[in-house]
Amino acid sequence: MALISKKKRIYPISNGLRRYLIKYSREVDIPIHYHELLRYTSSIALYDSREQDTLWETVFYDQSDREEIHLNVKKIYALLKAGGDMSVMEHLYVDRIDLCVYGNTQPFRVRIVNRINDNFDYFYVKNADASRVYGLEFEHLLSPNRISYLVHQNTLIEEHIAGIPGDKFMRAHMNDPHLNPIRLAKEFVKFNERCFVRLLGDMHSSNFVIDVTPDFEETHYRIRAIDFDQQSYEGKKSIYLPQYFKENNVLIQLGMKYITPESMVQYQKEERALIATRLKSSRQGILDILRSMEHDTISPPENIASLKIDLAKHYGNDKFLQCKNMGQIMKTSLEELIKK
């Protein structure tokens, strides 16, 4: 079973990471920052459709602040979704701003609505954490998913990743007559491999969503991480393998029932080959982000020492033992993909 050792600290954006963000147009001047959203005057608990407490609170601002704050968060939405084309704001309004009171970084979630058709979208305003930024960038470069995010000073803006939360899916959708258990189990194997290769930890069922796409014959599944602050932080190999979290037992048991060991190895090899292809096609970006990471501090020394021993044993590669930081461990892990 995978257990997180203790609450993770927030690491600031280093100069090297900042240079990377500027080079790849992730660093963008924004009109409002995280600390300014903390000026709310009151809040109420937010409940879901079943009257269950979501652990989010809807916050309210003074009349004198509200108009400016709402205008500025709409501008951020235009930067995030339309490359700064402010004309998209014409029919948008801010329906709600929520604060997550239990999260590690206590993020804000903004709900934006199109007044013409009532279509809505979300985005998040967070304290910038270097671990999370590395996680987002590796997701963008190495996974099948593209990620939109922006950074300015100590504020991180993240798009909303749509899908059914993993824990909710396991509670409510496993008995769906249209469920394809083999495809879902296969996707979990591939997701497990993606997380391990790029060292994204803490992928229990609350930290990923399941994107369901009906096709003309079958239903397809894509499991997507939604929380990236445990990128290359923990010191135990098991933390980077979703298969070891008890919260994922329903999917694990599905795999044990429907997937043979031979098929599992095949799916793992397929996923590693796909990641290797992305690694080669994004070679310069990967080299740049690893260069920054190798000169950064995103994990305590004891975690680095523990993880490199675990990975050296797992891969039978003593090169891990020479690693001095998480950036070097990450680089060595990715090198395993392109070994002949």
Task: Tell me the pLDDT of the chain averaged across its residues.
Answer: 94
- pLDDT above 80: residue 123: yes
Q: What is the mean pLDDT of residues 39-63?
A: 92
Helical (H) or strand (E) element with 308: helix 301-315
Q: What is the mean pLDDT of residues 257-286?
A: 95
pLDDT for residue 4: 63
pLDDT for residue 50: 84
Q: What is the mean pLDDT of residues 142-160?
A: 96
pLDDT for residue 51: 87
C-alpha distance across the termini of the chain, in Å: 33
pLDDT for residue 329: 98
Question: pTM of the full predicted structure?
Answer: 0.94
Extents of the domains making up the chain: 15-159, 164-338
Q: What is the 3-state secondary structure (H, E, C) of 104-168?
A: CCCCEEEEEEECCCCCEEEEEEEECCHHHHHHHHHHHHHCCCCCCEEEECCEEEEECCCCEEHHH
pLDDT for residue 6: 66
Distance CA 140, CA 198 (A): 11
**How large is the angle between the packed helices 15-23 and 283-294, nearest 10 degrees?**
160
pLDDT for residue 83: 87
